[in-house]
Amino acid sequence: MKSAASAGRLAALLDFVEAASGSAWRAWAKRAAAWSAPALFSALEMYTFSRGTPEPPALWRALAAQMPAWYVWLPLTPWLTRLAAREPLSPLRPRPVLVHLAACLGMGALFAGVYTATTATFMPMPGRDGAWAARWLQVWWGWLPMVGMAYATVLAVALATRASERARDSERQAAALAVQLTESRLLALQTQLQPHFLFNTLNAIVVLVRERETEEAARMLVLLSDLLRQLLQQGATQEVTLRDEVAVLSRYLELQQLRFADRLRVEWAVEPEALEVRVPHLVLQPLTENALRHGIGVRTAAGVLRIGARRRGDALELTVQDDGPGLPGGFDLESARGIGLSNTRARLAQLYGEAGRLRVTNAEGQGTVATILLPWRFTQGTAGVAHG
Q: What is the mean pLDDT of the chain?
A: 77
pLDDT of residue 315: 94
Question: Given a cut of 80, is residue 72 above it in pLDDT?
Answer: yes
Q: Which of 15, 69, 17 is nearest to 42 (CA)?
A: 69
Q: List, for residues 92-117, the tens digit of each pLDDT value.
A: 778 888 888 888 888 888 888 888 88
**Which amino acid type is present at position 67?**
M
Q: In whole angstroms, what is the distance from residue 229 CA to residue 252 CA?
A: 12
Q: What is the DSSP letter of 330?
A: T
% helix / strand / coil in the chain, to the nearest 5? 70, 15, 20
Q: How confident is the model at residue 176 (pLDDT cuts 50, 70, 90)?
A: low
Q: In whole angstroms, what is the distance from residue 254 CA to residue 284 CA?
A: 15
Q: What is the pTM of this model?
A: 0.50
Long-range contacts of 26-34 (CB under 8 A, 24+ apart): 28/74, 31/74, 31/77, 32/71, 32/74
Q: In this structure, what are the phi and psi dihedrals at residue 213, rounded to the nearest 5 degrees?
A: -90, 70
Which of residues 291 and 30 earns the better pLDDT score? 291
Please give, one letter per residue, the 3-state secondary structure of 111-137.
HHHHHHHHHHHHCCCCCCCCCHHHHHH
β-pairing verdict for 315-322 and 368-375: antiparallel
Task: Identify the weakest region by mean pLDDT among 12-16, 247-251, 303-307, 357-361.
Answer: 12-16
Q: List, for residues 111-144, the tens digit of each pLDDT value.
A: 888 888 888 888 776 555 567 778 888 888 888 8
Question: Given a cut of 60, is residue 312 above it in pLDDT?
Answer: yes
Residue positions counted in the chain:
388
Cα 70 off chain centre by: 42
Which of residues 320 and 40 earns the better pLDDT score? 320
Question: Given a cut of 90, is residue 316 above it in pLDDT?
Answer: yes
Q: How confident is the model at residue 9 (pLDDT cuts 50, 70, 90)?
A: very low
Question: Given a cut of 50, is residue 382 above it in pLDDT?
Answer: no
* Percentage of the residues of the chain whose pLDDT score is greater than 70: 78
Pick the CATH number of 234-387 from 3.20.20.70, 3.30.565.10, 3.40.390.10, 3.50.50.60: 3.30.565.10
* Percentage of the residues of the chain whose pLDDT score is greater than 90: 12
Q: In whole angstroms, what is the distance from residue 37 CA to residue 102 CA?
A: 25
pLDDT of residue 6: 43
Q: In whole angstroms, what is the distance from residue 134 CA to residue 193 CA?
A: 86
**3-class secondary structure, 365:** coil
Domain boundaries, the chain: 28-176, 234-387
Per the CB < 8 A criterion, the answer to whether 311 and 273 are in contact is yes
pLDDT of residue 338: 63
pLDDT of residue 380: 55
Q: List, for residues 50-59, the tens digit of each pLDDT value.
A: 776 667 777 8
Q: How confident is the model at residue 154 (pLDDT cuts 50, 70, 90)?
A: confident
* Highest-confidence segment of 8-12, 190-194, 321-325: 321-325
Cross-sheet strand order for the sheet of 357-362: 264-270, 303-312, 315-322, 368-375, 357-362
Q: Which of 194, 192, 191, 338 is nearest to 252 (CA)?
A: 194
pLDDT of residue 277: 94
Q: List, for residues 179-216, the tens digit of each pLDDT value.
A: 655 554 555 455 454 566 677 777 777 877 887 777 87
Q: How confident is the model at residue 7 (pLDDT cuts 50, 70, 90)?
A: very low
